Amino acid sequence: MDQLSDCNDSLFSDQYRQLADPLLAVAESNVPSSPRPGVRERLVRCLWFDQSLTSDALRLESGQRLRVLSPGWWNLEKGPDFLKAAIRIGRNETINGDIEVHVRLSDWYAHGHDKDPYYDSVVLHVSLWNDCEESFLTNSKGSQVPTLTLASFLTSPVDELAENVDPSEYPQLAETEGGQCCQKLNETPNGYTWLGRFLGHAGDQRILAKADKFRARLNGGTLDQILFEGIAETLGAKQNKSQMLQLARLAPYCDLASVAQLQEDGAIRRVESVLFAMSGMLPTASDMSEADRHTQSYVSSLNEEWSNLQHRFANSAMKQSQWRFASTRPVNFPTRRIAALAAVVVSSSHRGLLQTFIDMLGTESVDRASTLRRLWTSWLASLPGSYWTTHCVFGKKPFPKPTRLVGVQRAGAIIVDVLVPSLLLHARKTDDTYLERTIHRVFCTHPLLPKTSVTRFMVQRLFGERGDTSKVITGARRQQGLYQLFRDCCEKGDLACRRCLLISAMESSEM
């Protein structure tokens, strides 16, 4: 029917990139240039939401010290970008209100917020750069709005953060009607059949991009560490993604695996002691003086282990205030995610993390990729957890029954977002075609992951409000294609619709 094949037994395909790049180049040539191409307001919102900042050093443009107690709730309606934030300026009392985010300070005036009463609730303006050297802005009442410039306080250079932050993983306003692409697909014979194949190749491209990101991180390191960092990020989800990555770098996999192998007994507790200490969340015995005996004994043993191990870890520990518990279900609290990370280390320390997953290939054939996926899922969902299978924080009332540290859905996210691209990277570094074909088959047969605001947006954009996706969005591969298409097209707003990649791709294919 057209040049896009849909062979699930093939290697990872770059057909999407070959088709999309020329079309994207034409579309981008019609977009007005900016002083820093690639930096969009949505990225700055993500940086603020994640608090990818040296939080202890924050100062306003006025020179006053700033402490962020809560970045606020991501707003998808009219008005400021974040609602109900909590900040403290200097030694003053906590200030509750809204946050407005821009790429440049002058955007506040360019967008007319200084004359719009909807923005009178803003207690802090956040921009990546200050292009007008002002310390305060004004609202429609003439009141001053404090300003924070992020560029000086980012934990990494903005280009590196832009590479690691995927804006498609953050809240996105859903449309109620289909776009131009929906109309085109409905008018084209077998249009949705073509779309399924197109999304499959877009899904391959998303994995190839993730593998490239992991390759860039290597920089003389090991694939075990890259895999460890990826698992840590995925365990952290949006609320604690950057924090978990920071922890994985402060306490590297090889050092933790060495600690785990000091002796057979107590490996989990030794690794947990390091991770909780480095995260800044290890309580002292006096902190737990009113806790139950089980907790007191557990905390005491963690502190004892850490006192014997801390000389191995020279990095400065994180601060407990960096971790976000608000808007997170107790079973997903960062304490339990850290315990899961410790269990990952202990369960893989003898063979190494990468080799542990490769060993599960065994004699499995490509045709039994679903068996391999179940083995990976079972391994992740059966991690040992001791204290943390029944607790979400130190000393609180235990759960009525034990709860897995990693659920099946989170295990699926680790497989798709971390294992598949990291093993692809390894397969191509070692010219292992069999491994690449196997993990591609795992990817092709992996069921859908939970819906997100982005996938809902894309479904409504492509299919309309009542469209049937069951025969098109058939699994994780095509679902990942939705994310790739969103990032290349729909994330850029209405401007991208004037030269829609999807419509151009359909017209250039042999339909």
For 249-282, the DSSP string reads HHS-HHHHHHHHTS-STTHHHHHHHHHHHHHT--
Instruction: Please state the length of the chain.
Output: 511
> Which residues lie below 8 Å from residue 170, measured CB to CB, with a gap of 6+?
42, 45, 46, 49, 74, 238, 453
Q: Rounded distance, CA 339 to CA 330, Å?
A: 14
- ∠ CA 92-95-96, rounded to 5°: 170
Q: Rounded distance, CA 434 to CA 85, Å?
A: 51
Q: Rounded distance, CA 259 to CA 308, Å?
A: 11
Q: Rounded distance, CA 497 to CA 502, Å?
A: 9
Coil, helix or strand for 129? strand
DSSP per-residue string spanning 109-169: HHTTGGG-GGGTTEEEEEEEE-SS--SEEE-TTS-EEEEEEGGGTBSS-HHHHHHH--GGG
Q: Give residue 22's identity as a one-letter amino acid code.
A: P
Coil, helix or strand for 85? strand
Q: Rounded distance, CA 425 to CA 354, Å?
A: 11
- Asked if 55 contacts 68 with a C-beta cutoff of 8 angstroms, the reply is yes
Q: Rounded distance, CA 174 to CA 457, Å?
A: 4
For residue 447, what are its two tokens?
A: 């069921």
**Phi/psi of residue 33, each to 5°?**
-70, 155
Work out the end-to-end distance of the chain between its first and last CA atoms, rounded to an integer number of angstroms.
Answer: 6
Q: Give residue 335's identity as a one-letter amino acid code.
A: T
State the DSSP code for 154.
B
**Phi/psi of residue 192, each to 5°?**
-75, -25
CB atoms within 10 A of CB 138: 15
For residue 406, what are its two tokens?
A: 């990693």
pLDDT digit string (tens) for the chain, length 511 residues: 344 555 555 799 888 988 888 776 655 544 443 334 446 788 888 888 877 777 778 999 999 999 988 888 888 778 899 998 899 999 888 899 999 999 999 999 999 999 999 899 999 999 999 988 789 999 999 999 999 999 888 877 777 777 667 666 676 655 546 778 888 888 888 889 999 999 999 999 999 999 999 998 888 789 999 999 999 999 998 778 888 999 999 999 999 999 999 987 899 999 999 999 999 999 998 999 999 999 999 999 999 999 999 999 988 899 888 898 877 889 999 999 999 999 999 999 999 999 999 998 875 554 577 788 889 999 999 998 789 999 999 998 899 999 999 999 999 999 999 999 999 999 999 999 999 999 999 999 999 999 887 888 888 889 887 678 888 999 999 999 999 998 888 776 554 566 678 888 888 775 4
Coil, helix or strand for 15? helix
Angle between helices 453-463 and 180-187 (to 10 degrees): 50
DSSP per-residue string spanning 407-461: -HHHHHHHIIIIIHHHHHHHHHHTT-HHHHHHHHHHHHHPPPPPP-HHHHHHHHH
Q: What pLDDT, on a 0 to 100 scale, did the predictor assign at position 72?
A: 86
- Asked if 65 contacts 90 with a C-beta cutoff of 8 angstroms, the reply is yes
Coil, helix or strand for 138? strand
In angstroms, how far apart are the furthest CA atoms of the chain?
A: 73
pTM of the model: 0.79
Distance of CA 216 to the CA centre of its chain: 17
For residue 439, what are its two tokens?
A: 């993990």
State the DSSP code for 219.
T
- Asked if 210 contacts 421 with a C-beta cutoff of 8 angstroms, the reply is yes
- Asked if 366 contacts 436 with a C-beta cutoff of 8 angstroms, the reply is no
